[in-house]
Amino acid sequence: MKTFALSQNTGAGTPDVAGFFDPNTFSVQYVVSDPVSRKCAIIDPVHDFDETSGATATHHADELLAYVQAQGLEVQWILDTHPHADHFSAAQYLKEKTGAPTAIGEKVVEVQELWKGLYHWPDFPAEGSQWDRLFAEGDTFRIGELEARVMFSPGHTLASITYVIGDAAFVHDTLFQPDFGSARADFPGGDAHQLWNSIQSILALPDETRLFTGHDYMPDGREPEWESTVREQRETNKHLVDVSEDDYVAMRNERDSELPMPKLILHSLQVNIQGGRLPEPEANGKRYLKIPLDALEGASRE
């Protein structure tokens, strides 16, 4: 199975994009680098977790660090596109290893407020202080000599953002590959109308913009893929071609009502709303997750 691919820069001001696929969570992690300065950002890194044994590991995050070292890169940012519901974020681990600042969208505070209620954490600081930078719509930053900007892309979650770095856009779970369609919008705080509008904003980018997705579920057993272009998405995405907003919302809501919740949603959100920090050890030196029962209204079983 293909678990790595390098999308090379297309000229001045554009990044090299290394994609790393995790078959366990169907997630894609990225190292986005400036070929001139050799500075880079890591996007949506995975901290390994096995829900049957409770074991944690850093194999995937260490693979990113090994690539960074082998390529002679310097990590300038550790970025998450949203609080993930299907894997733990390795942002905090990578910050400890590299010293690079962490960042996420500013609306994460609304996700924190929502989930602190579900976890019954009345004293939890839902203020975003768990990250070094909270990005708003239109914010800009640099990765070496590369210009990067932030698009607010709600719908899948309240806090989802897209990073546009040169000619590459990291669209997280808003769009998937054209043969799979688009993301669900039924998580707490999700909204199909907002998701439609976010997709339209992404599809308004230049036609040749490279789009990098957060997951691939390999329909019909094909090899995993995670790169497309705005033109390809607009012309061939199975959820978008010749579809109105009302039709899309009806399709999305019906489809989502039949989907089981991700198996790690209750495990992962309590880590990810803390910036990827695992729970603190208790008096016996062990860490514990807190799983609320019957907390997700309307959730279906597999």
Cα separation, 66 vs 53, in Å, equals 27
State the pLDDT at residue 299.
Answer: 61
User: Which alpha helices (DSSP H) does 204-276 contain, by range?
Assistant: 230-236, 245-257, 265-272
Q: How confident is the model at residue 235 (pLDDT cuts 50, 70, 90)?
A: very high
DSSP of 95-156: HHHH-PPEEEETTHHHHHHHHHHHTT-TT---SSTTSSEEE-TT-EEEETTEEEEEEE--SS
Let me know if residue 132 belongs to a domain: yes
Q: What CATH number corresponds to the domain at position 74?
A: 3.60.15.10
Q: Tokens in use for 255?
A: 């489809």
State the pLDDT at residue 112.
Answer: 97
Let me know if residue 251 belongs to a domain: yes
Let me know if residue 218 belongs to a domain: yes
What digits encode the pLDDT tens for the residues 63-122? 999 999 999 999 999 999 999 999 999 999 999 999 999 999 999 999 999 999 999 999
State the pLDDT at residue 43.
Answer: 98
User: Which alpha helices (DSSP H) does the chain contain, by range?
Assistant: 59-70, 91-98, 108-118, 192-203, 230-236, 245-257, 265-272
What is the count of structural domains for the chain?
1
Let me know if residue 275 belongs to a domain: no
Give the residue, 248 or 302, on which the prediction is more confident: 248
Let me know if residue 117 belongs to a domain: yes
Q: Tokens in use for 257?
A: 């009502």
Q: How confident is the model at residue 297 (pLDDT cuts 50, 70, 90)?
A: confident
Let me know if residue 288 belongs to a domain: no
Across 190-212, average pLDDT: 98
Q: Is the pLDDT of residue 302 over 60?
A: no
Let me know if residue 69 belongs to a domain: yes
What rounded mean pLDDT belongs to the chain? 96
Domain containing 232: what range? Answer: 4-260
Let me know if residue 250 belongs to a domain: yes
The two most distant CA atoms of the chain are separated, in Å, by: 59
Cα separation, 54 vs 277, in Å, equals 15
pTM for the whole structure: 0.97
